[in-house]
Amino acid sequence: TNKLLIAPSILSADFLNLQHEVQVATEAGADYFHIDLMDGVFVPHLTFGPDIIQALRSVTAVPLDAHLMVDHPENYVQSVVQAGANLVNIHVESTPHIYRLVQQVQELGAQAGVVINPGTSVSAIEAVLPIVDNILVMTVNPGFGGQKFIAATLFKIQQLARLKQKNNYHYSIEVDGGINEQTIQQCQAAGANIFVAGSYVFGHDISQRITNLKQAIIH
């Protein structure tokens, strides 16, 4: 779809108050919760697995966006969907079988997304564009919250928006990393419609920050 959606990334939330922060963000109008699964191999850090997805599922009705930063994503797809993920985003760099994985996610009943790192070109995912539900363009290098937005990624968002229009594809275009009330406008202008924000939202007045992001894109 082309709907403008804000997806707070719980990577920057206070884990000891996760339920409360998720409820505050839900009331503030979060459209998705973005959950970063890291395995310490594809990226250096370890974060959460399907159990956290399931726990979040029980406290919010907001759709859950699972961002798999793992090697062998095929090992996680089923448990992530079963835990309650509505959208599963898989890095093209993490598998030689991206087409099959997209099909599997869709057969399991979830939306399938493909992720490209800052160093990966749009051409690497051209073959799956007709079937995917979402393209996640990393606007920082994956693995850490709080990094600086890489403006060179805007060109890829424009390319994807152009290909989408020209071929009548149905995917949404999501951005992740370094999103604040300025960079969100650049991404929107380039053609993105789902905006992940971690450190901009959490560790601050969550409700106010979500409102700021919404106001920045609605004009």
178 binds, among Zn ion, ligand DX5, none (CB under 5 to 8 A by kind): ligand DX5
CA distance 49 to 123: 30
CA distance 119 to 181: 25
Known active-site residue 36: yes
CA distance 9 to 31: 11
| 19, 147, 185, 211: residue in contact with ligand DX5 (rule CB under 6 A) | 147
Of all residues in the chain, what percent are helix, strand and coil, respectively (each to 5)? 40, 20, 40
| Span interacting with ligand DX5, options 116-124, 151-159, 165-173, 191-199, rule CB under 6 A | 191-199
Known active-site residue 14: no
Tell me how far, at minimum, the Cβ of 196 lies from ligand DX5, in Å.
Answer: 5
> Looking at beta carbons only, is 126 or 202 nearer to ligand DX5?
202
CA distance 24 to 14: 12
Catalytic residue among 14, 65, 176, 205: 176
Q: How many residues bind ligand DX5 (CB under 6 A)?
A: 22
Note the Cα 87 to chain centre separation in Å.
9
Contact assessment for residue 60 and residue 22, using Cβ atoms and an 8 Å cutoff? yes
| 102, 128, 179, 187: residue in contact with ligand DX5 (rule CB under 6 A) | 179
Query: Binders of ligand DX5 among 2-31, rule CB under 6 A?
Result: 9, 11-12
Task: Provide φ and ψ at 134, rounded to 5°.
Answer: -155, 145
| Span interacting with ligand DX5, options 48-56, 94-102, 119-127, 198-206, rule CB under 6 A | 198-206
Extract the tokens encoding 48: 């959460």
Tell me how far, at minimum, the Cβ of 67 lies from ligand DX5, in Å.
Answer: 5
Tell me how far, at minimum, the Cβ of 168 lies from ligand DX5, in Å.
Answer: 29
> Looking at beta carbons only, is 32 or 166 nearer to Zn ion?
32
User: What DSSP designation does 150 have?
Assistant: -
Residue 48, beta-bridge partner list = none
Helix, strand or coil, per DSSP, at residue 205 = coil
Residues at the interface with ligand DX5 (CB under 6 A): 9, 11-12, 34, 36, 67, 140, 142-147, 176-179, 196-200
User: Annotated active-site positions, please?
Assistant: 36, 176
